Amino acid sequence: MKQEEKSMASKGRVLEAAASLFIRKGYEETTMQDIMEESGLSKGAIYHHFAGKQEILSTMIADAQMKVNTFFQEMEENTELTVKEKISRIIRYFFDNKNQSMLIRNRWVEKVPYALVDTVRNGNAFIAPRVAGIIKQGNENGEFRCDFPEELAEALLLLLDVWLDPVITDRTADEICRRLEFIFRLLESFGTQLFGPEDMEAMKRMYAGYAAEGDMKNGRN
């Protein structure tokens, strides 16, 4: 194995070990010593790649963002699925994404400077145009009619990524579900029913699950 490949492999081991620990123990309770023991690497090897725990988390966020961007591009370019099938795939992608769940549960936007700003910028620059492209496909194949695909895509991302983010808003599960219902009704009023009943329920379970964890941590019933 070449030196560059070895370096990438050891870096991957650090990220994998840290992700496992963040899921089991939480970000705050995980130490660099824990990561060293979990990864089986020396202290020097770990610090060769990362200055500390926050840089490890920053790298995880960047990796997750890159994977999300790739996924949305693949969905836009897919010619075999209907738009509603693409939307369902997107929802399932986030519902089943363990790393994404881990980042949310560890309140990533509070840990890394400018993380939220970077995420919103990436959403507007890359993901929103992909979503707009998918909505335009729905217009073309007659699944629905949307006169403002770019604007709707950007608004949806802000609503789902910021307005409903359980770390930013600290809402209860019931409050999250009510706001999701508002989004669904809003789409209906525009004649753009992107989400089917199963999609709605999956999103409610996902967001409400995060909110319920926040309720327990904050002593709310």
CA-derived radius of gyration, the chain: 19
- What pLDDT sits at residue 213? 60
- What pLDDT sits at residue 36? 93
Mean pLDDT in residue range 160-175: 82
Domains and CATH numbers, the chain: 1-59 (1.10.10.60), 82-218 (no CATH)
Integer Cα distance of 40 and 37 in angstroms: 5
Q: Which pLDDT band, with edges at 50, 70 and 90, does 212 fall under?
A: low
- What pLDDT sits at residue 218? 47
65-82 in b/e burial notation, b at 16+ Cβ within 10 A?
beebbebbeebbeeeeee
pLDDT tens, residue by residue, 104-161: 776 776 776 677 788 889 999 999 999 999 999 999 999 988 999 999 999 999 998 8
- What pLDDT sits at residue 214? 52
Pick the range with the lowest mean pLDDT from 33-42, 105-114, 192-201, 211-220.
211-220
Nearest Cα residue to 89 out of 104, 77, 72? 72
Nearest Cα residue to 179 out of 152, 151, 193, 200? 200
Integer Cα distance of 151 and 112 in angstroms: 29
Judging by beta carbons within 10 Å of its beta carbon (0-12, 13-18, 19+), is residue 64 exposed, middle or buried? middle
Which two tokens mark 166?
């359980």
Distance of CA 90 to the CA centre of its chain: 11
